[in-house]
Amino acid sequence: MLFMSMPAAGKLPSHIRGTTLLAQIEAGTAPTVLDVRSQREFANGHVPGARHIPFWALLIRMSQISTSLADPVVVYCGHGPRAYVAGAFLRASGFRRVMYLKGHFLKWRQAGLRQEVGSDSR
């Protein structure tokens, strides 16, 4: 199974490995990927196909997440804290399959996984 289900209350959130996510991206089967870092961080490199919405702007830009509440959404930032804030907000807004990129973008970059550069957000 590529996705782990949402854990019971009180347990750690679900994560997806970078290599698994990249394979899904390359196969055209990736979930919505949400980068919640700053514009500068996003422009310097991001997961291919990621939508950029800074964590502090989620409230006013929720309509830009064009997926159903039942579909998986992978959230990441540089190291984790902003993604966890964003993920909590997404879950409170009704998204049921919020997951996090394991190791966030730091590990993605360290692993040498393919990146897109520039500020074009999908």
Supply the CATH number for residue 92's domain.
3.40.250.10
Question: Does 66 reside within a domain?
Answer: yes
90 lies in which domain range? Answer: 14-110
Span 39-52, average pLDDT: 97
Average pLDDT, the chain: 89
Question: Does 6 reside within a domain?
Answer: no
Q: How confident is the model over 64-108, as pLDDT tens digits?
A: 998 999 999 999 999 999 999 999 999 999 999 999 999 999 999
Q: Does the structure show a pLDDT above 80 at 40?
A: yes
Span 42-68, average pLDDT: 95
Q: Give the pTM.
A: 0.86
Calculate the alpha carbon distances from 97 to 10, 32, 45, 86, 120 in Å: 16, 11, 25, 13, 25
Number of domains in the chain: 1
* Torsion over CA: 54, 92, 95, 78 (sign): positive
